[in-house]
Chains A and B, each alone.
Chain A
Amino acid sequence: MFGLESKDGKLLLLVAALALLAPVILNPFPEGSAMSQFNAGYPDLMQRFVIFGILAIGFNILFGLTGYLSFGHAAFLGVGSYAAIWSMKLVTMNIIPSIIFAVIVAGVFSLVVGYISLRRSGIYFSILTLAFAQMSYSLAYSVLTPITGGETGLQIKSTDTPLLDKALEAGEIGRANLFGYGMGSSYQLELAGWQFTFNLGYYVAAVVMLISFYFAIRIFRSPFGMMLRAVKSNQQRMNYAGLSPKPYTLAAFVISGMYAGLAGGLLVAMDTQVGPERMFWTASGEIVIMVILGGAGTLLGPVLGAGFIKYFENIISKINESILQGWFAFLPDGLQDFMVAVVYPFIGKGWHLTLGIMFMLVVIFLPGGLIQGGQKIGSWLRRKKNVVAKDSTTKPAE
């Protein structure tokens, strides 16, 4: 299918089905029920799932294949966002030109950063990319305020006059659109207590994510992708086999930078504003954690990791003390307070602690990420099934 091997085609179909049905799948609990706070099927969060999925897919092309650990990918996300919003300010509020512009600008920026950073490898490469990202952040925060809006960031105001759009009314805040349809427009489906929201912005982002995922599969299965794995494995042999590792690594760096720019452009398309904190080094670190948590070098892992982290960030962090009191209300008073005190550090503002513990467990016991965990469970189930099958075939002989 689309020039893919059947296994990869099935994977793409699976991801497509999950992405298209996400508003239903992520809302398994009826509205108003005690569990409904675990529902993740609201537009804002679903958009984040797929956009950060794109970011992680792109980062994985660099880190998963070549092994070069960039600690500055948030810079490309931020640059893409600024490029997208400027395209909206100057040309049109339509998201398509702004996303394309975001990808191009992020690509050029990553070419410059990559060309310089790739003069070194290993930890020095990571530090160089980190330095570039922090410089970008600081510049956006201070010196470049005329372009970036400094601390307050950028929005589309009524004073902006996009070339192709009609002027905004005084005081109105501009919202991005796709040929006139707002990204926030949704269709609500009520179904016997369940509530599903089908949001245009989410579906735009999901389609872009599926296209990105498709290209990532193509790259993974291409001779180019094999060369990138060769870069990770043995650059010395690459050289003596007549290959130049540098342009391959740089190409991977630029591709992953363009993916980050695409994600940045989409963030602006969904929520028409930018701030410099998007480029802060913790944002770069988050990308690394997403990919490692999900499984670096695998196709599905990065998307999974991105989803996990965004879920924790938005769902676990919303559980507060009174919700906990409710959960443990069935216990005797003293025990209830004790349980709340034990669990409390791990939820709400403490969600980083839960995430940190989970990350450590994954890195120590599943170096291949959550994907490896899934594979282990899968092979264990198969083995169990085989044993059962063997038992049933041997029994009649007794």
Chain B
Amino acid sequence: MGILEIKGVNKRFGGLKALDDVNLSIAENTTHAIIGPNGAGKSTLLNVLVGKLIPDSGSVTFDGQSILGRQPHEINQMGISRVFQTPEIFGDLSVFENVMIPCFAKRDGAFRMHAYESIFAEKAIQQQAEEILADVNMLEKRHMIASSLSRGDKRRLEMAMCLVQNPRLLLLDEPTAGMARADTQNTIALLKEIREKRSITMAIIEHDMNVVFSLAERITVLAQGTPLVEDTPDNIKGHPKVREAYLGEAQV
């Protein structure tokens, strides 16, 4: 029994079957990649997992509890964090405030009227934020306004914002999309480091095979809304069905 169980999930957009009877189990403490050609339903699946879309049928349970029909912030409070294709950060706020906000969310829940307390008195939260910034090597940039960071630093900051909540499942939506080669290598290194330091389950949706094969422990190949195969990276590499799905798409 995995930490995330997807059973018989279907989702239609008009005449298009975006997800067709998807069954998928993500085991705790693994890095699980979901790959597939364009239009395979990867993004739809991700949006179901974070509560942005509700499937037409099927069930999705996280740690035994159904997540269907819950709001994105409720799902986050259950322990699922998400990293976006383009980093979603609080651009107008400082780097330090960016990491403090998820700390408060973790401690105080989705809403609390803490209008009379002072931020400067929240020593425990400040310490948490400092530690995570040190972890991603951004402590010296703590006073910078987040929108002025480089693309790579924005990605690091977003990771820090997710990790500071100690999520049980981290969802990564094409974390290296549009990145230069060096940035991609840096991101891979960062993710590997995170994986080694923390017992965290990661689900990666990715296009770049280089990223997938250097990170994933399990790979699921999605095609036309249906999981084609699920196996270890080594077995996936030579799998005939995968070659077929990717024919003309990329060299596997």
Contact = CB atoms under 8 A, between A and B. Distances in A.
A233 B119 contact: no
Size bracket of the A interface: 20 to 34
Interface of B: 50, 71-73, 76-77, 81-82, 84, 88-93, 97, 100-102, 104-106, 108-120, 122, 161, 165
In the complex, the 10 A-B pairs of residues with the closest C-beta atoms, listed nearest first: A242-B76, A224-B115, A242-B105, A233-B90, A244-B110, A247-B111, A237-B88, A241-B102, A233-B92, A239-B72
Nearest to B78: A242
Most buried by B among A4, A223, A225, A226: A223
A221 B73 CA distance: 24
* Chain A facing B: main interface SS: helix
A259 to B, nearest CB: 13
B52 to A, nearest CB: 9
Contact of B88 (A227, A232, A240): A240
A226 B73 CA distance: 18
A148 B77 CA distance: 48
Contacts of B88: 234, 236-237, 240
B118 A3 contact: yes
Interface in A143-171: none
A234 B89 contact: yes
Contact of A229 (B93, B111, B118, B165): B93
B120 A221 contact: yes
Interface of A: 3-5, 218-219, 221-227, 229-230, 232-234, 236-244, 247-248, 251, 255
A244 B73 contact: yes
Contacts, number: 108
A241 B113 contact: no
Contacts of A248: 111
Contact of A223 (B90, B106, B122): B122
Most buried by A among B72, B101, B104, B122: B101
Contact of B119 (A222, A240, A244, A247): A222
Contacts of A251: 113, 115
B73 A239 contact: yes
A21 B120 CA distance: 32
A222 B122 CA distance: 10
Nearest to A239: B72
A240 B82 contact: yes
B76 A241 contact: yes
Contacts of A5: 118, 120
B106 A218 contact: no
Contacts of B90: 229-230, 233-234, 237
5 contacts: A221-B118, A224-B114, A230-B93, A242-B102, A243-B111
